[in-house]
Structure 1
Amino acid sequence: MSAVPFSKISSPLNALLTAIGLLSVATLTTPDLAGETRLVVEAVLAAIWVVYVLQLSGTLLVRRRSRLSGGNAALVIDLLAVFVPMAAFLLIASRDWSLYCAVWLLKPMRDSTFFRLMAKVVANESRNLLGVTSVFGIVLFGAALAGYVIERDVQPDKFGSIPQAMWWAVVTLSTTGYGDEIPQSLAGRVLAGLVMMSGIGIFALWAGILATGFYEEVRRRDFVRNWQLVAAVPLFQKLGSAALIEIVRALRPRIVPAGAVICRKGDVGDQMFFIVEGRVSVATPDHPVELGTGSFFGEMALISGEPRSATVSAATEVSLLSLYAVDFQMLSSSSPEIAEIIRKTALERRGAIPKS
């Protein structure tokens, strides 16, 4: 059996194998697990490990054949998934070897775009995150120090040292409030209230920085994708970067499956469409007309405000860019040559002027 196909195990399958493996690890920690059942569960772990060995072998073969240098994170995860459990099995003479299969927790991160996005966001926002973390550390130590000074004589068993008071500070600053360590003095309780309020602010800052970072990164990726789509339309290929930026902001991408109706005859239209990839079928009175990559349709709805003159459906899966009426007016101002081409094409299609 070739190991190469195993290098392309999908992310959902990786996640499923991880879930089964971790469930098996948890099951093996049950004290009264019967001997035969234990063997079956261990066999499941062994089978998953074999799949991961094949995946690692396939990954190495593919990298060797294509001489790839990227994807080092995926390779490291594959190596850990294979060699950590194997080393534990060979070196640890007890049932605890199965616990090392918990390294498979890393497997869902192997091909996940979300984790790569999160890593990029953290890298981009590292200075702000480190700044808030520094504030957290300062408040944490200051709270522990103040708690020690205020409560050490009242509760020497719980606040007898700064390290002991540090646990109370962590629980209070995170607003967890286990209740195992509670200030008894009035000053201590005032301090606890201030620490809790500080904790809410600090965690809100962390959340806000990450949320803003995710939004900016997703918007940046969408802009790059839309730029590539717009640049693929022949009508826009001769424009400068400034005009393209305006069009990218105005046009909105849309994927339509084959056979789906994009617009119907008689409907009121508020947008026109540019075809980036695929073909659409226009139901004309004589015979259907197909439009392909680089064409556009639905422009009469923006120019004259008339209802749709034909039903348009996707002959294949089609990638479209839609332009709304409000954005068309903006495009007419910033790129009059584009708007003129659209108007001329609309008139030609109506037969108002002969095609040249």
Structure 2
Amino acid sequence: MSARPFLKISAPLNALVAALGLITVAALTTRDLDPTTKLSLELLLAGVWAVYVLQLVDTVIRRRDKNDRGRTPALVIDLLAVVVPVIGFLIAGSRDQSLYCGIWLLKPLRHFTFFRLLGRVVARAAPNLVGVTSVFGIVLFGASLFAYLIERDIQPDKFGSIPQAMWWAVVTLSTTGYGDEIPMTFAGRVLAGLVMMSGIGIFALWAGILATGFFEEVRRQDFVRNWQLVAAVPLFQKLGSAAFVEIVRALRPRVVPAGTIICRKGEAGDQMFFIVEGRVSIQTPSPTPVELGPGSFFGEMALITGEPRSATVSAVTEVSLLSLYSEDFQMLSSSNPEIADVIRKTAEARSGRAPGE
């Protein structure tokens, strides 16, 4: 187990190793390579394969130690990256052995959360996607059938059967238009125009469904993350569910690196801040700055009085903040007067110490 840290491969390094391996595979397909260059490239492929063996060992150890079933996709990819090149070496001819290393195209995917997001989007949008796909299939077969009936006698070599006509229908539906099969009759060209317009509509529906699914999924993730952040602020923990949802939608999360100035003295203020994690320093007239930690808030005076900020606030550590804009503060004041009252009383108490923070 002491050697395990040497088995870990970061996501950027994993992508770099995969790119190196795939470039080597491409180079080995070049004709008339001299033996020395070919041997060097093959040794480089063997080195990449050895790295992936180490990564497979690390994945197996982590899965066994943590009993983490969520690592199954990574384990499958790592296993294929090791086993498939070995199979190619054993069964393929010398010319095609390196091509089996093309399985390394999958390696960068093991670190991408995008594909899990895509899977959730497709799963939720499946009924609509299946419906549009069914329309695509109906239009495809119908176009092939009519193209066959219209063009079979004029171009029997290209439209002599429905399967042959399907190639034309696919190319036309996708509006690719290779030009290898073209209707010669007027009716065939009218059909082609209708099929093209149908294809544009079908692909637009697919794109629209997926775009809407991505938007809703990202918004759902943002809402859950904001919910967790808002729940960490003591001021909001006693709210009812309806008011809590309202606050979650109003607050905007923000992460500020250590040393960053969050707001400056004298500038106009259009938002206040709640601290979820980290600490901030408020430069007051007194020699010693005031520090605030998780659960505190600042910047409220600018929203209550409308005056410029009278103190500079900077991040002592990396700070996770929730910002509340002035228009949302007005909404909060009307719907949750108890919270607005706490904020106002805190502002009044601070005004003698550090006005307009």
**Structure 2-normalised TM-score?**
0.96
Task: Give how far 1:93 is off.
Answer: 3.5
- Check whether the contact 2:85–2:100 (CA below 8 A) recurs between aligned residues: yes
- Check whether the contact 1:4–1:59 (CA below 8 A) recurs between aligned residues: no
What's the secondary structure of 2:55's corresponding residue? Answer: helix
CA distance in 2, matches of 1:180, 1:35: 42
Task: Give how far 1:6 is off.
Answer: 5.6
- Check whether the contact 2:74–2:110 (CA below 8 A) recurs between aligned residues: yes
Task: Give how far 1:3 is off.
Answer: 5.6
- Check whether the contact 2:275–2:296 (CA below 8 A) recurs between aligned residues: yes
CA deviation profile, 1:227-250 (whole Å, cap 9, x unmatched) = 000000111112222111000111
- Check whether the contact 1:125–1:213 (CA below 8 A) recurs between aligned residues: yes
CA deviation profile, 1:16-68 (whole Å, cap 9, x unmatched) = 22211111111111122221111111111111111110000011112222222
CA distance in 1, matches of 2:40, 2:120: 41
What's the secondary structure of 1:70's corresponding residue? Answer: helix
- Check whether the contact 2:59–2:74 (CA below 8 A) recurs between aligned residues: no
CA distance in 1, matches of 2:126, 2:278: 42
Letter in 2 for 1:36: T
What's the secondary structure of 1:136's corresponding residue? Answer: helix
- Aligned position for 1:315: 316
Quote the sequence identity (%).
75
- Check whether the contact 1:7–1:59 (CA below 8 A) recurs between aligned residues: no
- Aligned position for 2:331: 330
CA deviation profile, 1:315-343 (whole Å, cap 9, x unmatched) = 11111100011000111122111100000
RMSD: 1.4
- Aligned position for 2:198: 198
- Aligned position for 2:237: 237
- Aligned position for 1:292: 293
CA distance in 1, matches of 2:210, 2:7: 33
- Against the structure 1 CA distance between its residues 3 and 170, is the aligned structure 2 distance closer, same or farther, given a 3 Å change threshold? farther
State yes or no: 1:167 paired with 2:167.
yes
State yes or no: 1:25 paired with 2:8.
no
CA deviation profile, 1:245-301 (whole Å, cap 9, x unmatched) = 000111001111111111111111111000010010100011211111111001001
State yes or no: 1:282 paired with 2:282.
yes
Task: Give how far 1:2 is off.
Answer: 5.8
- Against the structure 1 CA distance between its residues 8 and 117, is the aligned structure 2 distance closer, same or farther, given a 3 Å change threshold? farther
Task: Give how far 1:192 is off.
Answer: 0.4
- Check whether the contact 1:3–1:57 (CA below 8 A) recurs between aligned residues: no
What's the secondary structure of 1:275's corresponding residue? Answer: strand
What's the secondary structure of 1:76's corresponding residue? Answer: helix
- Aligned position for 2:116: 116
Letter in 1 for 2:315: A
Unpaired segments of 5 or more residues in structure 1?
none
- Aligned position for 1:88: 88
Task: Give how far 1:8 is off.
Answer: 3.8
CA distance in 1, matches of 2:164, 2:24: 38
What's the secondary structure of 1:71's corresponding residue? Answer: helix
